[in-house]
Amino acid sequence: MKKWIASFFKSFKYAITGITDTLRKQRNLRIDFIFGSIILLICLFLPLSVGEILWVVFSIVMVIVFEMLNSLLEELMDLLYPYINEKVRIVKDLAAGIVLVVAVFAAVVGILIILRHLFGIDKIFGVLFLLLFLIALFSFSKKGVKDEKNKSDDM
């Protein structure tokens, strides 16, 4: 039984070491933790329902988890492919894009819940923010398609 307990606590030590190492190395993760902590502190002083608090906490945790997964993927790709590789760039960009989508989701949750309580902002602003993000994303993707077409025409 003692061996099981020691092993159990050792696994926590490894997990905490992984988090602290990543925090030391990854600036974006530190930023996520700082903003998440600030938002949670703000939530303490707002009259939020349990459901609203859960949505805010869920959003913060999702951003942190996906940022850590992005870091993990980047480390693995750098380990497996230490040389410049176009496929590696695509994988890393996709992982960063996933973090961006989750961060925008968290921002929408923040606009819909926190800013509404702080400033009385109507919930339509959260929807408008998401719509603007999607429009910007679509316009960037159209530019990328044109760039790829021009690149293939040059060859």
Quick one: pLDDT at residue 62?
Answer: 97
Quick one: pLDDT at residue 6?
Answer: 83
Hey, what domains does the chain have and what are their CATH numbers? 27-143 (1.10.287.3610)
d(CA 59, CA 62): 5
d(CA 92, CA 71): 9
How would residue 143 be classed by pLDDT, with cut points 50, 70 and 90? low
User: Under 8 Å CB-to-CB from 118, ≥6 apart: which residues?
Assistant: 42, 46
How would residue 21 be classed by pLDDT, with cut points 50, 70 and 90? very high
Quick one: pLDDT at residue 137?
Answer: 80
Across the range 27-37, mean pLDDT stands at 94
